[in-house]
Amino acid sequence: MDINTLKLVALQEMKQIRRNWLFIFFVFLVMTGILCLQIVMQTSSVAYNLRALPCSIPYLNALLYNFLQCLFVIFATGDFVHREVRKDTIAAIQTRAYENKEYLFGKVIGIVFSFFCLNIIAAFAAFVFQMITKQTSFTFFPYIFYLFTLTFPTLLFITGLSLLVHSVVRSMFLAITCLLGYCILDIWFLTGIFQGTFDMFALKIPNVFSQVTGHVGMYPYLLQRLAFVLAGIALALFAVVYMKRIPGNIRALRQAVLSGCFILLLGCVSGVLYYNDYLQDQRIRREYMELYEKTQDKYVGVNIVSQRIEYRQEGGRMKVRDSLLVENSGEDRIKEFILYLNPGLIITGLTWENRDIPYQREGQACRVELPVGKGEKICLAMEYEGKIDEKICYLDIDNDVYHDAFWGNSLMGYGRRNALLEKDLTLLTPECLWYPCIPR
C-alpha cells in the first residue's frame, strides 16, 4: 500500500466526518451526556460499587462511550458508502491511480482516527471529573488500558462490519437496521453464550483493576479483544470486493479476499484460545470433583489431631514443613489413607520417624501407603512447595455461577480470586487446601 495515498484519503474522510452534522451531535452527546450520566451514577451514595475502585470512573466512561460510538459509526460508515453515489464529492480523488484497497483502508483510518481522538477527549473529561470530585484515588494506567483494549477493538470491528454490510446491502435503511439489530443481539444474547467469545463489548468478561489483585484474567481478556481487532480488519478487506470502482490491479480482489481470510483465521484462533481457556478450567474442576467423589468415603475414621505448620514464602511461591499427628479412630486397621493438598503444591518429602513413606499423588489426593492400627496415632512430616491452583476452590458451585464475573446488579465485572500468593500480599483460606487435610 502507498502511504501517501492512505494519508490523503484518510485526511479527506476526516474532513468529511468533521463537517457531518451527525458527528457534531455525537461530539456534543459525548461531552455532555456521558459526563452528566457519570456524575449522576458515580456521585450517588447508593451506587458505591460504581466508584469503589480507582478504575471505576475510566471503566464506566469507556463502557458508555463504547455503546455510543457503535451507534454513530454505523451511521458514519453508511454515509461514506452511500456518499460514493455522489461522485462530485470525491471526484478529485477518484481520478487518481490507486488500488481500491488503499482507498478503502484510507477511509477506515479516517473514521477510526476521528472516533479514537474523540475517545481520548472523553477519557480526558472523565479524568478531570475524577480529579475534581475525588470520588476515588487516581490511577492513570486504566485510562490507557481501556482506550486500547476495550473501545478500540470494538471501534475497529464495528467499522469493518458496517463497511461490509453497507457495501452488500445497498439500502441504507435496511443496512442500518441489520447493524443495530446485531448490536442489540450482542447485548442481549451473545454476551451469555460461549463465555462472551462473540461479545464485542466484553460485557460479561472480568475487566476491572484492583489495587490489590490487579486484573483478574488479563491473558484471556486480551485474546478475546485481539479476536475482534483481527475480525474488524478482515471484514474491511472483504468490503473491498464490493466496491463499484474498477480495481487498479487485476489481482487486487483475490489478494484482498485471501488476506481477509488469513486475518480472519487468526482472529478465529484467538477466539478459540480464549474459549479453550474457559473449557480447560471446567474440565480440570470436573476432574477434581470426580476425584473427591471417588475418595471422600473410602477411608473413614482417620483424623488429623494436630498440625504444626512452618511457612516460608519466596516471591510468588510458598515452602511449607508440616508436622501432622494422624489418628485412626475407626474400628479396623487400615493399610493406607488419603490426605488432600492443593494440586499446585509439590510434595518434596513425606517421612515418619525419619523414614521416607511411599505415596501416590493424583490431583489433590495424596494416598499415603502407611498402615495405621486401630486407635494408633502417628506423626508425619510433610514438606511441599509451589503455587496455589485456584481451580480447586468451591467445586460445589455450579460452573455458570463460579465464572460469573458480576456481583449483584453491578455494571462492573470483578471476576473471582480464591487465593493470593504474591510478593507483597498473601491470602490463603482453608478452601484452597494450602495445608493437608483429611476427607470428610
CA–CA separation, 270 and 275 (whole Å): 9
Task: Identify the pLDDT of residue 98.
Answer: 64
Q: Which of 5 and 200 is assigned the larger pLDDT?
A: 200
And the C-alpha cell for 326?
494422624
Task: Identify the pLDDT of residue 101.
Answer: 78
Q: What percent of the chain has pLDDT over 70?
A: 92
Q: What is the pLDDT of residues 122-157, one digit of tens each?
A: 999 999 888 888 777 788 999 999 999 999 999 999
Please return the burial class of 189, using the count of CB atoms within 10 Å of its CB with bins 0-12, 13-18 and 19+: exposed
Tell me the DSSP string of 314-371: ETTEEEEEEEEEEEE-SSS-BS-EEEE--TTEEEEEEEETTEE--EEEETTEEEE---
Task: Identify the pLDDT of residue 186.
Answer: 94
Residue 364 in this model has a pLDDT that exceeds 70? yes
Task: Identify the pLDDT of residue 8.
Answer: 81
427: helix, coil or strand?
strand
C-beta separation of 380 from 307 below 8 A:
no
Q: What is the pLDDT of residues 231-244, one digit of tens each?
A: 999 999 998 888 76
Q: What is the pLDDT of residues 75-88, one digit of tens each?
A: 888 877 776 655 55
Arithmetic mean of pLDDT, 62-83 = 87
Residue with cell 488429623: 304
Query: How much is the mean pLDDT over the chain?
Result: 87
CA–CA separation, 8 and 93 (whole Å): 9
Q: What is the pTM of this model?
A: 0.89
Task: Identify the pLDDT of residue 50.
Answer: 77
Q: What is the pLDDT of residues 426-439, one digit of tens each?
A: 999 999 999 999 87
CA-to-CA dists, residue 163 to 150, 233, 324, 416, 428, angstroms: 21, 11, 67, 38, 51
